[in-house]
Structure 1
Amino acid sequence: MKFVAIGNANVDIKVFLEAIPGQDESIDALAITMSSGGAASNFAMAAAKIGIESYIIASLGNDELGKFYLESLRRANVNTSYIKIAEGVRTGLVLILNVLGEDRRMIQSSGANEELSPSDILERRELISSADEVHMATVRPEIAESVLEIREASWDPGMRMILKYKRKIWPLLGKAGKIFLNEKEAQELSGERDPVDCAIKIAKEGTKEIVIKMGSKGSLAYVDGETHRVDAIPVKVVDTTGAGDIFAAVYLKARRRGFSIDDCLKLANAASTIKVSRPSGVDSLPTWDEIQTMKLIFYGK
């Protein structure tokens, strides 16, 4: 089974804090880590960890951060041969502030991510066409359109892109086979409040499958006019980075293997539960066996 992820390639610097310092104040961090990041990168690493032949199409700067990123993904068994190296720009960088008991805060510099172009997608047409699944994550509309001209793909647009390009994203939804959103993204994109209403409105554009992640309220999938909803697994959250991306990777693998929609959601929930319970990094990504065990423990057969 071969998956191709398309999207951002970043280096994440995560700072874990008890509180945000006030103006002209200084505090000690609980921990500071540096790792490869970006939604597409997280998806690709998660896919590799659950036994999938994993590729990524993205753009990096020709700098030390880019070299760090490449080495990180290669260690995670992701094929990086199709990454573009852009001269004269820096690799994308994200500063993530994790405060105990609060949602994370992110400050980012897109850098070389802006250099990925429709022509780069066309140059990689053969890889895109040959994959079992192609997953687009936080890509600009022109990149999504270029991919969807080649084949059907799953798409996780992300809140930043929805806020910036909603009018351009909307006409493309019907060309994507599956759309992955969290609850806030679904509300912003559709203009509805109830998650089911959000999914129904998006489905009217022609999207075959809408999957909405709702955190502690679980997840749902709207497929062929039917709503499938699964409860979340209770968990003490350590780090939510990449949870939605492994959710998507596991859901797509399960769909490819012929699991029912409900079981796909349960497996994806199990994967993201394990992920958020651990500090971020490649080692925190669960294996397929761990995911199946978690599903069995919480949901039963």
Structure 2
Amino acid sequence: MQKDVSYARKACLIGNFNIDLIIRNVPNLPVWGQEVAGNNYMQVSAGQAAYTGFALHSLGVPVSVIGYVGDDLYGRQIRDDLIKSGIEISGLEMVKSACTAITVAIVRPDGERAFVSDFSFQRKADESIIQRHWQEVKQAKYVGILGIFCLPGFNLASIASKMDALQSQGKITVLDTGWDSTGWPPEHIDGINTLLKHTTIFMPNLDEAQALTGYKLPEDCAAELRKRGAELVIVKLGKDGSYAHIDKQTYCQEALPANVYDAVGAGDVFNAGFLYAFENGWEIPHCLIFGNAASAIYISRSENRFPNQEEVYDYAKRYYELPPLNTQDC
């Protein structure tokens, strides 16, 4: 990518940060009063904003983040991991006497996962943090709103107003809501519809797209979400790949082969791969391929999970012709 000197960082990610306690190889969920066993657990710095930030930075994209953690052991782990990865954290606020959010991720042997989360003080944390760190937002070309339902104190109408202002400044707004643990009540869907009017790239998975639209097929979901205002809709299909709808054009790209270790964070890594290729000026099908390849590598690894640009490119090139990779910093 050509370096754009008008931006201090290419991406500013606003969203949720938490600790993931991941327990793998769980054959089935327990019923109340019983217990099942998994193995090979680990504790990682997580949340959609963190996973996406780690993945983007590994691809060579300068990133800043805005969000909340508690001033506790977990919060310090998240802060230190972000710093070690080279991510700008001046917008990460550590709240005294608050517990950092935590998620227990339960992973089946085939990599599918389920989550139980405690959002902790983030239930009451509000979107005023964005204004306090507006300078970081101004310095970015891409502004992502991620994991919004893990921040229930955020006012969606206020976020929409900020996204409107960002688009008017020529910025690319990216939205990935995550799953709504409250069951997608009508007021939440109305709020997301307002956000979509100011969204450049909307990146739900199929379950989320279905919940928002009431449709089943990805093409119907994407068409409906385009009607609601998003300029480009990307629907992540897991083992079936990814689907895109922009203007009157649609694209479907199958997943690349992967030996699944676990899929926690896979959608966030896909987002990072897609955005990297999109910023590189590639056509949408190539962006889908690059996102699929980044995700395939990530879910196949047990350590050093976030691939760099050359690794993703080389893996994707085994299966598809791609434009030349520009390895300059973003």
Q: In structure 1, give the amino acid aligned to 2:211.
A: E
- 1:101 aligned onto 2:122: no
Q: What secondary structure does 2:319 align onto?
A: helix
Q: Which moved more, 1:70-79 or 1:5-14?
A: 70-79
Q: Distance in 2 between matches of 1:23 and 1:110?
A: 22
| One-letter code aligned to 1:208 | E
Tell me, yes or no, if the aligned pair for 1:8 and 1:40 is still in contact at 8 Å. yes
**2:320 partner amino acid:** Y
Mean Cα deviation higher: 215-224 or 146-155: 146-155
Q: Which residue of 1 aligns with 2:312?
A: 291
Task: Work out whether residues 121 and 146 of structure 1, in 8 Å CA contact, stay in contact via their aligned partners in 2.
Answer: no
Query: Superposition pairs for residues 245-284 of structure 1, below 5 Å?
Result: 245-279=268-302, 283-284=304-305
Which of residues 8, 14, 30 in structure 1 aligns to 2:16?
Answer: 8
Q: 2:88 maps to what in 1?
A: 79
Q: Structure 1 length normalisation: TM-score?
A: 0.92
Aligned to 1:173: 196
- Paired amino acid for 2:312: I
- 2:5 alignment partner in structure 1: none
User: How many Å apart are 1:143 and its aligned residue?
Assistant: 6.1
Q: 1:144 aligns with which of 152, 159, 162?
A: 159
C-alpha change, 1:150 and 1:183, in structure 2 (3 Å) is same
Q: Match of 1:54?
A: 63
1:102–1:248 Cα change, 3 Å: closer
Alignment map for 1:161-200 (pairs within 5 Å): 163-164=184-185, 165-200=188-223
Letter in 2 for 1:296: K
Contact 1:4 1:128 in 2 (8 A): yes
Q: Report the equivalent of 1:240.
A: 263
Q: Count matched residues.
A: 299
Aligned equivalent of 2:54, options 39, 45, 57: 45
Task: Summarize the Cα distance change of 1:146–1:236 in structure 2 as closer, same or farther, 3 Å threshold.
Answer: same
Q: Which runs of 5+ in 1 are unaligned?
A: none
CA distance in 1, matches of 2:69, 2:158: 16
Identify if the C-alpha distance between structure 1 residues 235 and 275 changes in structure 2 by more than 3 Å, giving closer, same or farther. Answer: same
1:222 corresponds to: 245
SS state of the match for residue 127, structure 1?
helix
- The question of whether the paired residues in 2 share the 8 Å contact of 1:118 and 1:142 is answered with no
Higher helix share: 1
Structure 1: distance between partners of 2:85 and 2:25: 28
Match of 2:228 among 205, 219, 227: 205
Report the CA distance between 1:58 and its aligned residue: 0.7
Q: Deviations over 1:258-278 (max 9, x none)?
A: 111111111011101111111
CA distance in 1, matches of 2:163, 2:24: 39
- Cα distance in structure 2, aligned partners of 1:146 and 1:108: 28
Q: Deviations over 1:141-196 (max 9, x none)?
A: 25632531431311001122672521211122111111001111111111222211
CA-CA distance at 1:13 after TM superposition: 0.7
Residue 98 (structure 2) aligned to one of 84, 89, 95: 89
**Aligned partner (choices 108, 127, 131) of residue 118 of structure 1:** 127
Determine helix, strand or coil for the equivalent of 1:175.
coil
For 1:225 and 1:93, the matched residues in 2 are separated by 41
The equivalent of 1:158 in structure 2 is: 178
Query: Counterparts of 2:313 and 2:100 in 1: how far apart (Å)?
Result: 36
RMSD of Structure 2 on Structure 1 (CA)? 2.0
Change (3 A) 1:142 1:38: farther
CA distance in 1, matches of 2:160, 2:15: 13
Q: Of residues 37, 42, 46 in structure 2, which corresponds to 1:33?
A: 42
In the TM superposition, residue 23 of structure 1 has moved relative to its aligned partner by 6.1
- SS of the residue aligned with 1:176? coil
Amino acid at match of 1:151: L
- Mean Cα displacement is larger for which, 5-14 or 102-111? 102-111
Kindly indicate whether the alpha-carbon contact (under 8 Å) linking 2:106 and 2:115 is maintained by their aligned counterparts in 1. Answer: yes
**Deviation >6 Å, runs of 4+:** none
- Normalised by the length of structure 2, the TM-score is 0.85
Q: Matches of 2:254 and 2:308 in 1, distance apart? A: 21
Residues in 1 aligned to 2:159 and 2:253: alpha-carbon distance in whole angstroms = 29
TM-aligned CA deviation for residue 6 of structure 1: 0.8
Equivalent position amino acid for 2:177 in 1: P
Instruction: Name stretches of at least 5 consecutive residues in structure 2 with no aligned partner.
Output: 1-8, 149-153, 168-172, 323-330
